[in-house]
Amino acid sequence: MTDSHHRPHPRPRRRPLVAALSVACVAAVPAVVAVLPANAEESAGGPPAFRRVDVDSTVSGASFTSVGQVYAGEQDIVTSGYGALDGGGRPVGGGTLQIYRPGASLDTWTKVTVFDADAGIVFPNATTIDDVDGDGDNDIIVPSGYFFGTDPAAPAWLGSTGAITWWENRGPGVPFAEHTIVSGRAASYHGVQYVDLDGDGVRDILSVAEEGRIAGELTDDAVETHFFKGNEDLTFDDPVVLATDLGGSQPVVHDVDGDDDLDIITSQYFRTFNSATGSTFLWLENQDDDGVLTESDFTLHTIATLADSPAGRGVGMGFQIRPVPDFRGPGTLSWIGTNHVNRCTFGSILPVPEQVIEFDPGTDPTGTWGLTTLSDPATPGPACPSPYHATYQTFSDQITARYGYGQGAPGVFGYGDIDGDRDVDLLVSGDGDRRLWWVENDEGDTTLHRLTGPDEHFGQAGGAVVVDLNGNGTNELVFSSFDQSTLAIWTRDPAPTPTAPPTAPPTAPPTTPPASSTPPSPVPTAPGPTVRTVASSLRVTPGRRVVPAGTRATWKVRLAAAPGGPRRTVTVVFDPARGRTVKIGKLRLGPTAKKGVQQARLSFRAKKRGRLVVTYAGTTVTSTLRDTRARGTARVTVR
């Protein structure tokens, strides 16, 4: 989303511990016309046509959208909304979070409210759907806060809206329970990674605290990368700063350099004009050797910079970077990102075009990365109008931010097979451009297409999710627009055929079911029982250990999987830093007091440095319940 609306969020009073849950049936509204690609080449062999379905056009300030299994056996859509703003673009109260459960077709959804404005969550941002409490269903992690809350022009209460909460899923028809990880911060949290960063077997939270301070000032921003250590009792420690002045809204955790630990890779928007490094795309190398993470454990490596410099090529401010599997063919991994600039409004300061970029680390990710622009149009766009002003809506078939301070493009992006040719394409929010785009991948060549139709705007859009929502083998495209307060789907599926001629419109709106009612289950696509699949999680603790050579040491192996069924068995191998993998054997786990959790002790005598690798194959518990394969590792250093 553009920084002009870097989502504010107030906390006018103390929040209740449990959110009120409400359910409503939503009849999605198809757009009047099919949406065509930018070049409108709808002849045979041309780009596909899409039908737009508006799922909900009443999400005030719709901001970010994610898709995942909140309720068993479903692909649910989760959308946050910023709520009402004042004339200065600042929040006047709390935002909202809602889940959309699938019905019989893409045109029918059931809306479930996780929290409304009364919860006081200001500017709820990009959500993460994951099982925080290990009970077999997924919960929702919500970072939030207003970027410019400490601007002297802002109301004082906006200066402490930064928070991260997680909302416990207690089952259909039951209100979500709120749990606070951090709150009352001056900075905003935009996105999180829920991952075991320190290797102790318990997952942690990584996020970036961003404080824009004075909205019109480019050189007073403050940024810190924060680590919240997770504990087995589901609490999180106070944040530890892993990087000062470095980090961006959507950090990613990944083993960038292949040394078997997790690094941090990120794009940066705030504190780039007043940065000592000028880095706008960067990664932080994890060099920790004792399992206690501090700022000194992470080393900066610059990928790209604000402007051309000896440190890297200038690409402007960064919005997002993420790993994209299979983009260059099966088994490959590409690093792709979006910048966030406005070449027509601010070209005299930063003459950088809006673009989607592939970053190539080569054989040494600590060195210079190659950069390739993936979003250049087939025909170069015209020069920016001069003077550039608000009457210019869209003058170019190139990604172009609209006129105005705080307007930047592009924004978030996702990936998947968009056109049905079984390769990986890119789905892109124009954000300040107001249009939606996709980048076609054709055996390594890329072509930019416009998803929205002529004169159709879906500005400051979140989501960009490529997912098969109805299980028919064709992916849908999911976006939510702040400008339009709308959640919508683009699909290549035809509209459902009506079973009877339309009748006169009803004289009264349908009654909203009471909050205690259970949302209807989706219509099965085939006869037979629905199989619930539980995502297994396997942890080996401690995740790192220094042992004397040849001395036996003990680790705890803990599996969270589907409840019931037999005692589970895992296989164990030792993967030395040099030499062949050693098979240790099988380990039978035993039940614990916690439903679905089994564990055992593993003893092993290490003679050389390496890692223990424990693998669980998954189990079919009953005809309607199974769990998935999982793997856990622990690093072993020998002295």
**Percent above pLDDT 70 for the chain:** 87
Quick: pLDDT tens for 184-199: 999 999 999 999 999 9
What are residue 28's DSSP bridge partners? Answer: none
For position 78, what pLDDT does the model report?
98
For position 598, what pLDDT does the model report?
93
For position 21, what pLDDT does the model report?
58
Quick: pLDDT tens for 382-393: 889 988 888 777
Torsion 506-507-509-512 (CA) sign: negative
Under 8 Å between Cβ of 277 and 302: yes
Spatial strand order in the sheet of 222-228: 188-195, 204-211, 222-228, 240-244
For position 393, what pLDDT does the model report?
72
Pull the structure tokens for residue 82.
């910023």
Cα separation values, 79 from 92, 176, 395, 479, 485, Å:
20, 15, 31, 9, 11
Name residues whose C-beta falls within 8 Å of residue 558's C-beta, 6 or more positions apart in sequence: 201, 538, 539, 540, 541, 597, 598, 599
Q: Average pLDDT of 464-474?
A: 96
Q: Average pLDDT of 441-460?
A: 93
Q: Does residue 613 register a pLDDT over 50?
A: yes
Q: What's this model's pTM, rounded to 2 decimal places?
A: 0.77
More confident residue, 270 or 25: 270
Quick: pLDDT tens for 272-327: 987 777 899 999 999 999 999 999 999 999 999 998 877 678 999 999 999 999 99
For position 449, what pLDDT does the model report?
95
Q: Which residue has the tokens 């795309």?
A: 281
Amino acid at site 161 = T
Q: Which residue has the tokens 């905003």?
A: 188
More confident residue, 539 or 423: 423
Name residues whose C-beta falls within 8 Å of residue 614's C-beta, 6 or more positions apart in sequence: 538, 540, 557, 570, 571, 572, 587, 602, 631, 632, 633
Under 8 Å between Cβ of 46 and 473: no
**Percent above pLDDT 90 for the chain:** 64
Buried b / exposed e over 252-265, threshold 16 CB at 10 Å, is bbbebbeeebbbbb
Q: Does residue 543 register a pLDDT over 90?
A: no
What are residue 541's DSSP bridge partners? Answer: 556
Under 8 Å between Cβ of 48 and 36: no
Q: Average pLDDT of 249-265?
A: 95
Under 8 Å between Cβ of 573 and 583: yes
DSSP structure string for 77-139 = EEEEE---B-TTS-BSS--EEEEEEE-SSTTEEEEEEEE-GGG--BSB---EEE-SSSSSS-E
The DSSP bridge pattern shows strands 177-185 and 162-168 to be: antiparallel
Quick: pLDDT tens for 94-115: 999 999 999 999 999 999 999 9
More confident residue, 209 or 274: 209
Q: At 625, is the secondary structure helix, strand, or coil?
A: strand
Distance, in Å, from the CA atom of 478 to the CA atom of 55, rounded to the nearest integer, reads: 10
For position 387, what pLDDT does the model report?
87
Measured in residues, the chain has a length of: 639
For position 16, what pLDDT does the model report?
37
Q: Is the peptide bond before 566 cis (omega within 30 degrees of 0)?
A: no
Quick: pLDDT tens for 335-367: 999 999 999 998 888 999 999 999 999 999 999
Residue 579 CB neighbour total at 10 angstroms: 10
Distance, in Å, from the CA atom of 566 to the CA atom of 81, rounded to the nearest integer, reads: 44
Q: Average pLDDT of 8-27?
A: 47
For position 43, what pLDDT does the model report?
40
Quick: pLDDT tens for 415-436: 999 999 999 999 999 999 999 9
Q: Average pLDDT of 164-178?
A: 96
Residue 380 CB neighbour total at 10 angstroms: 10
Q: Does residue 20 register a pLDDT over 60?
A: no
Torsion 94-95-99-103 (CA) sign: positive
Distance, in Å, from the CA atom of 349 to the CA atom of 343, rounded to the nearest integer, reads: 9
Distance, in Å, from the CA atom of 149 to the CA atom of 268, rounded to the nearest integer, reads: 19
Distance, in Å, from the CA atom of 333 to the CA atom of 565, rounded to the nearest integer, reads: 37
Distance, in Å, from the CA atom of 314 to the CA atom of 101, rounded to the nearest integer, reads: 43
Q: Is 608 exposed, middle or buried (0-12, 13-18, 19+ CB in 10 A)?
A: middle
DSSP state of 446: E
pLDDT band at residue 473 using 50, 70 and 90 as cut-offs: very high
Under 8 Å between Cβ of 55 and 81: no
- Over 150-170, what HEC string results? CCCCCCHHHHHCEEEEEEECC
Name residues whose C-beta falls within 8 Å of residue 478's C-beta, 6 or more positions apart in sequence: 65, 67, 77, 463, 464, 465, 467, 469, 487, 488, 489, 490
Amino acid at site 434 = R
Under 8 Å between Cβ of 83 and 93: yes
Quick: pLDDT tens for 120-149: 999 999 999 999 999 999 999 999 999 999
Distance, in Å, from the CA atom of 272 to the CA atom of 307, rounded to the nearest integer, reads: 10
Distance, in Å, from the CA atom of 619 to the CA atom of 562, rounded to the nearest integer, reads: 8
For position 539, what pLDDT does the model report?
87
For position 499, what pLDDT does the model report?
54
For position 527, what pLDDT does the model report?
39
What are residue 81's DSSP bridge partners? Answer: 62, 96
Mean of the per-residue pLDDT values of the chain: 87
Quick: pLDDT tens for 479-518: 999 999 999 999 998 887 665 544 433 433 333 333 333 3
Buried b / exposed e over 233-245, threshold 16 CB at 10 Å, is eeebeebbebbeb
Q: Is the peptide bond before 410 cis (omega within 30 degrees of 0)?
A: yes
Quick: pLDDT tens for 49-89: 999 999 999 999 999 999 999 999 999 999 999 999 998 89
Domains, the chain, with CATH or none = 51-491 (2.130.10.10), 532-638 (2.60.40.730)
Q: Which residue has the tokens 């605290």?
A: 209
Amino acid at site 201 = G
What are residue 402's DSSP bridge partners? Answer: none
DSSP state of 608: S
What are residue 115's DSSP bridge partners? Answer: 97
For position 19, what pLDDT does the model report?
53
For position 28, what pLDDT does the model report?
61
Under 8 Å between Cβ of 123 and 144: yes
pLDDT band at residue 624 using 50, 70 and 90 as cut-offs: confident
